[in-house]
Every structure is written in C-alpha cells, then in structure tokens.
Amino acid sequence: MSQTKSHLILLLSAGILLLVVFLLYLKTGYFNTTWEHIFQALTNPRDEVSSTVVWSFRLPRILMAFLAGAALSVAGMLMQNLFQNTLAGPDVLGITSGSSLLVALWMMTGITALGSTTDLIFLGILGAMGMGSIMLLFALKLRSAVHLLLIGLMLSSFIGAIIAIIQASSATQDLQQYVFWNFGSLQRVTIQQIPWIAIITSLGVVLSLFQVRSLNAMVLGEEIAKSLGVSIRKVRIKSILIAGILTGVITAFAGPIAFVGLAIPNVTKLLMKTQNHRVLLFSNILFGALFLGVCDFAIKLLESYVAIPLNALTALLGVPFVGWMILKNRHVTG
C-alpha cells in the first residue's frame, strides 16, 4: 500500500472519529437529551432547556476543544520544526507565558479598557505576539536554535517571576480570578466567541500552509535549507508569528493548556511516518482536535464520579501514549 493511501485512510478515520466524538459529545451530559432534541436544538433552536444546554454548554465546549487541540498542535509543529527539536512547544518559546503575563496584569490590576472578554482576547494574542517578537529579535541575532530555545526557557521563567511579583502585591479577589484562569478550562468559552477563535485559528492554519515549502526544507537542517533557497530569517519570523497567533488566541480563552502542543506533533510524526509538512499540518489539525475532544469527552463522562482537571487528563492520557510511541520507534533515529 502506498504511503499516500495509508495517509488518506488515517486522516479519513480521524475525521470520522472526530464527527463521532462531536455527535456523542452533543448527546451526552447531565441532561437526558434525545437525538431529536439535539437535531432540533441545532437546526431550530428554541427557548427550551435542551436548546440552552446544547448552545450554551455542549456546543461551545466541544468546538473549543477541537479548536484548541488543532491550534496548539499546529503551533507545536511549527516550533519543533523551527528548533529542530522534538521537545519544543509553544510553552517552551515563552509564547504561552507572554499571554499569561498580560492576562495576569489585566486580571490583577483591575484595569479594563474594552470590556471583559474583548480585553482578554486582545491581550492574550498581544502577549503571545509580544513574546513572539522578543523571541524574534533574539532569533535574528542568534544563529543557533539551541540558544533560542534557551532564551525562550529563560524568558518564561523571567515572566513567571514578574507574574509572581504581581500576584504578591495584588488584592486577593483579583488573584483568585487569575488562579482560576490559570487552571485551564474549555468551559469558559461562549458560543458567541467561537467564530472569532475559529477565524483566528484558520488564519494561522492558512499562513502555515504558505510555509509548507520552507518547513519541509528545514527538515534537512538550516544549512541545507539555506542552500535550497530558503531564507532562514523569514522562516523563523513567520513560524514565531503564526505560533504566536495560534497559541495566543487559545490561551486567552482557555487558559494555559499543557502537553498538547508538545505531544501531538510527535505522535503525528510517528503515525504518519513522514516529514512532509503538508501532510503533517492537516494531520496535526485532525489529531490535535481529536485528542482534546476525546479528553474532554472523557472528563464529561467521568464528571459524576470524579473531577479531573483538563490539564491533568491531557498529561495522564498523553504521557504514557507518547512514551509507548517513543519506545516502539526507538530504533528509528534522526
């Protein structure tokens, strides 16, 4: 069987699973809803309990899970490509912490400019892009990706320290709001916000699509990529900006979500057995969405028995899986 065929089969099954998870998610919950209810609510929402449940609680949450999974995985893919390091991810570059900083400032100083949610979105992206730009300045000066990685890690700690100082001097109730945001939650997003997140995420995906040529060449290492006519500077700038957009919008709405951006790109690479980034891009979107969708579905199923925070579950499910993948493929080396 040719690789293209197996790719198609994998992607198709991921797509079908995604649909199944989506439908099951809409059906499952504390309220007993029939398929008729769901269909009714989706096509002709009325002022009924089932409509409210679907539109306020189930639909935005599962869509957010899909969007966050996809966006963070693509961001992770870009970062791992840029740093030629499978341990890179949006958090490593300090991009997530950039969002955290502005959100922390906003929540703990109590300054509101445009009104609650708009502020949050705007600041989340601005923070991620700001950190992205700072990383960019370093990226233009530094030749080595390892140095960049180190700078990213250091800046994360630096921002962590600033946030800690803000926390120490902020009023308790403001602190509380930040602590809750910091938990990471897909529940917070409303259906009105979903289109915005979807548009911004799609923008990041489309921009990534224009990067495929360079991303593929980067696989051979920066030196050879350069000899293939790829401008390393431009790749770095674009990768950081796109990862900033994707991570920023998700972090603003859902808080920092760990592990997905690191694990899914690795899993995808191992499953698809390719470094063709056109394939990887779409695979990351589908697998990332599926992973977080399944995670959140599991959380919901277990809700009445045990409370599992999202970040705990992603790690709980993901770590053994990635470990197994790495062990299984340990004979395959770079």
Partner 1 sequence: MKKNSIKLLFIGFLFLFLGCNTSKTKGADATIGKSRYSQWLSYTKTELGIKLFIKDPDGKAATRIILCTTHPEQVKSMSTTMEVLDINKIRLATNAATHVGMLVSLNARECIGAVSLGKYLHDPTLKKQFKKDKLLELGGTSIPFESLSKKHINVWVSAGMEPLDQANEERFKSLAIQWIPNYDWREEHPLGKAEWLLFFGAITNRFDEAQLQFNAICKRYNKFKKLPKGNSCQKILVGNFAGDYWYSPLQNSFQARFFNQVDFCTFSMNYKGTGSMAVGAERIYQEAEACELWLNPGFPTKQAILNAFPKAIQLRPFTQGSIFCYSHDLNKFWEQSALMPDIVLRDLIRIKQGNSADAMLYFYREVK
Partner 2 sequence: MLQGKQLHIGYTQSIASAESLTLNPGDLVALVGRNGSGKSTLLQSLRGSLPILSGSVRIDGKELSHWSPQSLATKIAWLNANFTGVSQLLVLDYVLLGRTPYLGILGSARKADVEVAQQALKHVGAEHLSQKLTSSLSDGERQLVGLARALAQDTPFIFLDEPTAFLDFYHRKQLFTLLKELATSEQKGILISTHDLDLVLAFELPLWLVPQDGIIRAHEPMQDREALEALLV
| Under 8 Å between Cβ of 301 and 248 | no
Q: Which is nearer to partner 1, 236 or 300 (CB)?
A: 300
Asked whether the beta carbons of 130 and 146 are under 8 A apart, the reply is no
Contact 247, 99 (CB under 8 A): yes
Strand, helix or coil for residue 44: coil
Tell me the C-alpha distance between 254 and 68, whole Å.
8
Least Å from the CB of residue 202 to partner 2:
16
Instruction: For partner 2, give the closer residue by CB, 68 or 215.
Output: 215
Interacting partner of 163 out of partner 2, partner 1, none (Cβ under 5 to 8 A depending on kind): partner 1
Q: Which is nearer to partner 1, 60 or 204 (CB)?
A: 60
Measure the CA dihedral 155/159/162/163, to 10°.
-160
Residue 230 is given by DSSP the state: -
The answer to whether residue 111 forms part of the interface with partner 1 (CB under 8 A) is: no
Give the Cα separation of 230 and 226 in Å (integer). Answer: 5
Residues constituting the chain? 334
Structure tokens at 19: 């649909």
Options 6, 27, 274, 325; binder of partner 2; rule CB under 8 A: 274
Which one of partner 2, partner 1, none is in contact with 53 (Cβ closer than 5 to 8 A by kind)?
partner 1
Q: Which of partner 2, partner 1, none does residue 156 bind to, with CB < 5 to 8 Å depending on kind?
A: none
Provide the token pair at 8: 């198609």
Give, as one character, the DSSP assignment of residue 13. Answer: H
The residue from 223, 306, 327, 330 that contacts partner 2 (CB under 8 A) is 223
Which option in partner 1, partner 2, none does residue 168 bind, with CB closer than 5 to 8 A by kind? partner 1
175, interface contact from partner 2, partner 1, none, CB < 5-8 Å by kind: partner 1
Tell the smallest beta-carbon distance from residue 175 to partner 1 (Å).
6
Tell me phi and psi for residue 53, to 5 degrees: -60, -45
For residue 280, give both structure tokens.
């990887």
Q: Which of 71, 72, 102, 163 binds partner 1 (CB under 8 A)?
A: 163
| Residue nearer to partner 2 on the CB measure, 112 or 227 | 227
Nearer to partner 2 (CB atom), residue 217 or residue 313: 217
Q: Does 2 bind partner 1 (CB under 8 A)?
A: no
Q: Is 160 in the site for partner 1 (CB under 8 A)?
A: yes
- Here the tokens at position 120 are 């949050």
Smaller CB separation from partner 2, 215 or 292: 215
Of 55, 4, 59, 77, which Cα lies nearest the Cα of 286?
77
Q: Which residues bind partner 2 (CB under 8 A)?
A: 2-3, 84, 209-221, 223-224, 226-231, 269-270, 273-278, 332-334
